[in-house]
């Protein structure tokens, strides 16, 4: 919020310096390419060793991969998973709902990028990609329980309005730098918190070792009660599952052995890797405008977001997902670290651009 206000006031000051005249380009700004669809300036400066055929092929490939995986995940949820549930339990939970919306928003952002290239008009699509990253962070960081809660919806709406307002009034390249900065910061924050979520659930699973089948609360006294109770619940679930499977085998000895359920932390690891790949690709293309980095950035979309879709299919309701205890100091450190790293990436990119 502070960074957005700072940029806003900086733009206002810039406007006052030039006698309040509309300034669409900062003097001395680098030249930029034109939109494929509208023929107006975009946010992409000259790309070294640019190959349009390779760029289009990579972009279209990523769009197709995202489209196919997203449709597959939505089909599984609405036509296979939900119909099996009782009438009063037909839900996939707020976390998985946001992952699904994140996939849909990313598809439209990628499709619009392939049609018109990245720029102010494209930002109307790209802002929703960033919005659902922030929404996912809100569930992890502050335990947002419903995506339809009035305050949550209002906050998301204000974010969209403020972001697009700054993008519209800020001159090139400040508009692109601002959008890149807030996008990078959310990418890094989501990667960090999904990593913490993975290690938290992995620790609970290890605590609730099937081999020992012992209550976690009888072991280490220094572990938090919430952590122990979650481990105990997993032990009881595994025990009930084993008893049920044994009874089924006794009733029908010829029945094939049931499939072993994948531990939840392994499915979360898929999200963690996907978030890391996306953040890494976004950071690489910030460092330099080399064509190979753009290809890697676009190709990462074809890898990362099908992994998000796989998670929805593997863990359709996230009922086994355990959120770690909220520590606002740690969350502030995550936010600060993400902001610093994002700003550093942009600073490196500006330095490299000035010294080319």
- The whole model's pTM is what? 0.84
**1 has a pLDDT exceeding 70:** no
Whether residue 34 is contained in a domain is answered as no
Which long-range contacts does 104-111 make (Cβ < 8 Å, 24+ apart)?
104/70, 104/74, 105/129, 105/131, 105/132, 106/66, 106/70, 106/301, 106/305, 107/63, 107/66, 107/67, 107/70, 107/305, 110/59, 110/62, 110/63, 110/66, 110/301, 111/63, 111/67
Q: Is residue 38 part of a domain?
A: no
Does residue 22 surpass a pLDDT of 80?
A: no
Percentage of the chain beyond pLDDT 90 is: 63
For residues 235-251, give the mean pLDDT.
Answer: 56
Confirm whether 159 is domain-assigned. yes
Domain-located, residue 6 = no
Residue 62 included in any domain: yes
Range of the domain at 278: 55-354
182 lies in a domain? Answer: yes
Q: Return the higher-pLDDT residue of 2 and 88.
A: 88
pLDDT in tens, 135-185: 999 999 888 777 778 888 899 999 999 999 999 999 999 999 999 999 999
Confidence (pLDDT) at 216: 42
DSSP 81: I
pLDDT tens column, 115-135: 999 999 999 999 999 999 999
Q: Give the residue among 243, 240, 233 at the shortest CA–CA distance from 208.
A: 233
> Which of 78-87, 207-216, 296-305, 333-342 has the lowest average pLDDT?
207-216
Whole-Å CA distances, 353 to 45, 47, 290, 319, 350:
10, 11, 11, 47, 5
Banded pLDDT at 227 (limits 50, 70, 90): low
- The three-point CA angle 269-103-172 to 5° equals 110
Residue 341 has pLDDT above 60, yes or no: yes
Q: Per the domain annotation, does 39 fall within a domain? A: no
Regarding predicted confidence, which is higher, 239 or 73?
73
Mean pLDDT of the chain: 85
Does residue 270 lie in a domain region? yes
Over residues 26-49, the pLDDT tens digits come to 988 899 999 988 889 999 998 999
Domain count across the chain: 1
> At 22, is the secondary structure helix, strand, or coil?
coil
- Residue 243 confidence (pLDDT): 58
Q: What number is the average pLDDT over the span 78-103?
A: 92
Evaluate if residue 24 carries a pLDDT over 90: no
Q: Which helix (H) or strand (E) holds 191?
A: helix 174-207
Q: Which is more confident, 72 or 253?
A: 72
């Amino acid at each position: 919020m502070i960074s957005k206000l700072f940029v806003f006031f900086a733009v206002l000051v810039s406007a006052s310096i030039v006698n309040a005249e509309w300034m669409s380009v900062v003097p001395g700004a680098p030249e930029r390419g034109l939109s494929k669809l509208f023929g107006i300036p975009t946010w992409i400066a000259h790309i070294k060793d640019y190959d349009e055929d390779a760029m289009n092929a990579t972009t279209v490939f990523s769009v197709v991969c995202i489209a196919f995986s997203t449709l597959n995940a939505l089909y599984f949820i609405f036509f296979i998973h939900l119909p099996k549930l009782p009438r009063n339990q037909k839900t996939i939970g707020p976390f998985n709902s946001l992952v699904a919306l994140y996939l849909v928003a990313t598809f439209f952002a990628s499709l619009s990028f392939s049609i018109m290239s990245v720029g102010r008009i494209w930002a109307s699509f790209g802002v929703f990609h960033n919005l659902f990253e922030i929404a996912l962070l809100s569930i992890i960081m502050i335990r947002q329980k419903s995506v339809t809660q009035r305050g949550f919806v209002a906050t998301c709406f204000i974010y969209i309005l403020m972001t697009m307002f700054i993008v519209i009034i800020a001159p090139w390249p400040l508009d692109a730098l601002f959008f890149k900065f807030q996008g990078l910061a959310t990418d890094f924050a989501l990667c960090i918190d999904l990593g913490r979520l993975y290690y938290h659930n992995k620790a609970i699973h290890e605590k609730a070792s099937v081999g020992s089948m012992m209550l976690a609360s009888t072991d280490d006294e220094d572990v938090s009660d919430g952590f122990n109770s979650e481990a105990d619940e997993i032990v009881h679930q595994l025990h009930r599952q084993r008893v049920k499977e044994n009874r089924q085998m006794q009733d029908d000895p010829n029945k094939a052995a049931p499939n072993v359920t994948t531990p939840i932390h392994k499915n979360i690891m898929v999200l963690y890797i996907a978030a890391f790949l996306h953040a890494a690709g976004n950071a690489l293309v910030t460092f330099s405008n080399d064509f190979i980095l753009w290809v890697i950035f676009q190709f990462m979309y074809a890898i990362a977001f099908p992994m998000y879709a796989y998670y929805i299919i593997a863990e359709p309701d996230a009922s086994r997902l355990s959120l770690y205890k909220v520590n606002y100091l740690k969350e502030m450190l995550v936010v600060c670290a993400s902001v610093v790293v994002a700003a550093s990436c942009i600073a490196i990119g500006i330095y490299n651009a000035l010294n080319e």
